[in-house]
Structure 1
Amino acid sequence: MPRNTLNLVLLLATTLLISACSKQGIYDSAIGWERSSAGLEPEQVTVGELEIAYLRSKEAVDGDTVVLVHGFGANKDNWTRLAKEFKGEFNIYAFDLPGHGDSSKPLNIGYRFEDQVGYLNQALAKLGVERFHMMGNSMGGAITALYSATHPDQVQTAVLFDPAGIFEYESELVDLVLEGDNPLIPKQEGDFDKLLDFALEKRPFVPWPIFDVMEEKAIANREVNEVIFAAIRDTGFEPDFRNAITNIQAPVLVVWGKLDRVIDYRNADVFVEAIPNARKAILDDIGHAPMVEAPEESAALFRDFLADRQP
């Protein structure tokens, strides 16, 4: 059993012995432990009428800043494993986009990529974060690409993990959605388990109390998830996104899991061809979330990417 997993199991066992905790209490303890291990603490920032939750490094370091943007239906805690690899090396900010995690979830605001770029830009401005590396996964990858094109003076480099936005090569997900079945939106008990199996090739161990709470949260978010998915669904078939990313000035690394069933890895070539200064890395045994499935390898790819840019 991996050491991190063993530590988490011991934490849960200790928590259960100390008191008859609720599943929510166990979940909160486990999430808090994961964040603390990565050197992160939770905060909130107000943008207009929205409350945006985020994680940040507890202690500032003499290094660059990295901004992390999760995918559809996910949240800021998808990044704790990768953030742990960067502890003491970079200043980390991981956001819950509106509609996700602990951020506001109104049904009547814009949820297209460009809308999320706007909310994120306002949040970063309020926090005084002016220059940074940016990483995004899936929907967050598309938002990262569009942010880089829209605010080139802010983004030093961009890393796109299995980004959405282009569907030149269709995936198993596209076929399922066209048939009326979207595995990314859990609707009932058992659907969250199917979602993890569908999206992740190397699924991390999640103890039952934590899994149950994660499933309950996912099902509770069904309505807002359907609104968000509808808002972004057709973006990959519109020319605006493809045209926009040709304006990216920052160096870009596209990382893709070859076994991704959500978005076909062959779309990496389309991104690299469209973005002036981009390269790709394909991970053979990984699915849709390399930063979750292979955090050490993802971190190493980023470090090598930065090293190649040094004069």
Structure 2
Amino acid sequence: MPRPLSFLLLPALLAVLLGGCSRYELYQSAIDLERSSSGLQSDTVKVGSLDIAYLKNQEANTGDTIVMVHGFGANKDNWTRLANELTDDFNVIAVDLPGHGESSKPLDLDYSLTGQARRLATILNALSLDEFHMMGNSMGGAITALYSAIYPEQVKSAVLFDPAGIFEYESELVELVTNGENPLIPSQEGDLERLMAFALEEPPFVPWPILGVMEEKAIANREINQVIFAALRESNDDPAFKERISGIQAPVLLIWGKEDRVINYQNGQVFEATIPNAELILMDDIGHAPMIEAPEESARLFREFLASRASR
């Protein structure tokens, strides 16, 4: 049964605070608790010169594997709430892509969408994974789509949450970036809270000491985020992206929040028309990350999608 994260988190945080721990220790305790409450544990793997951090099931089961790919400026812990609904029946692998989270952050890598998809293949090969379902959000959704096209023999199904890669319909973010403002790259105090309010229609509760540490980490990653974002701007809305994903063979579920201010949800219609075996579901009152804002509903949609495809 899924574990109720919010009810577990608050008493534990109170206990840590009363114990006199620093806010950094409090942050790590909260992260560890949310991971373990979701049936996950952290691990690392060496891939060439890169150290790659990832989450995996605490206890493996006989179910299929799901590889989860986060978005720009995010990390593997964006998936814990959704994993909480799935680890009883599936083996979850949530990776920190290079440049993100606890993985290596070299400034000179190829951070284009295709470059990241091919690098992800080397990571999953190092983890001895050869067949799996995939889920990706935003940048990770575009990477998941490309991965499904490039390595069709590995991907059993793909779920794309508000994916990047196609921008035929502009969003509020495009207008802001064009005017020299990027809410996705925190650079000063208060920016992370503004980012969460911009990206999420229903941001999850985050206690202030933890939010402060998260913001410090995000600001410290400003330089690498700028490098990655520049690479994404060059590769986004590339006609070759649409051509490549039109060859995806696996069934694809598109889940898109209708209140998404980062990527216009109408681009979902373009994805659905481009990918041969795709189905689009729009979620009311949800922003850019349905797996964070509505994890139970996201898990239900995934299970129903698998069941519907199995019955065909």
The answer to whether the superposition gives a TM-score over 0.5 is yes
Give 5+ residue unaligned stretches, structure 1.
none
Q: Which amino acid aligns with 1:288?
A: H
Give runs of aligned pairs for residues 20-169 of structure 1, distance below 5 A: 20-169=20-169
Contact kept in structure 1, 2:5 and 2:37, CA below 8 Å: no
Report the alpha carbon displacement of residue 96 of structure 1 after superposing the two structures with TM.
Answer: 0.2
Give 1:3 deviation, angstroms: 5.3
Q: 2:44 aligns to what SS in structure 1? A: strand
The SS at the match of 2:59 is: coil
Task: Show CA shifts across 1:51-105 (max 9, x none).
Answer: 1100000111111100000000000000000000002100000000000000000
Shift >6 Å, 4+ stretches: none
- 1:305 is matched with 305
Q: How many residues align?
A: 309
RMSD over aligned Cα, in angstroms? 1.0
Structure 1 residue 158 displacement after superposition: 0.3
Structure 1 residues 121-130 or 152-161, which shifts more? 121-130
Contact 2:53–2:103 under 8 Å retained in 1 = yes
CA contact (8 A) 2:55 2:95 kept: yes
* Matches of 2:183 and 2:60, distance apart in 1: 39
Q: For 1:98 and 1:32, locate their aligned partners in 2 and report how far apart those are by CA, in whole Å.
A: 21
- Give the AA of the match of 1:9: L
CA–CA separation in structure 2 for the residues paired with 1:11 and 1:61: 28
State the secondary structure of the residue aligned to 2:94.
strand
Residue 200 of structure 1 is matched in structure 2 by: 200
Residue equivalent to 1:278:
278
Residue segments in structure 2 that go unaligned for 5+ positions in a row: none
* 1:15 is the counterpart of 2:16: yes
Quick one: structure 1 residues 3 and 276, their matched pair in 2 at CA, closer, same or farther if it must change by over 3 Å?
closer
Contact 1:47 1:119 in 2 (8 A): no
Q: Matched residues in 1 for 2:257 and 2:7: separation? A: 26
**Residue deviations 1:154-206 (CA, integer Å, cap 9, x gap):** 00000000000000000000000000000000000011111000000011000
2:217 corresponds to which residue? 217
Aligned to 2:5: 4
Aligned equivalents of 1:51, 1:61: Cα separation in 2:
26
Deviates more, 1:113-122 or 1:299-308: 113-122
Letter in 2 for 1:187: S
How far apart are residue 11 of structure 1 and its match? Answer: 0.6
Amino acid at match of 1:235: S
1:6 Cα deviation from its structure 2 partner: 3.4
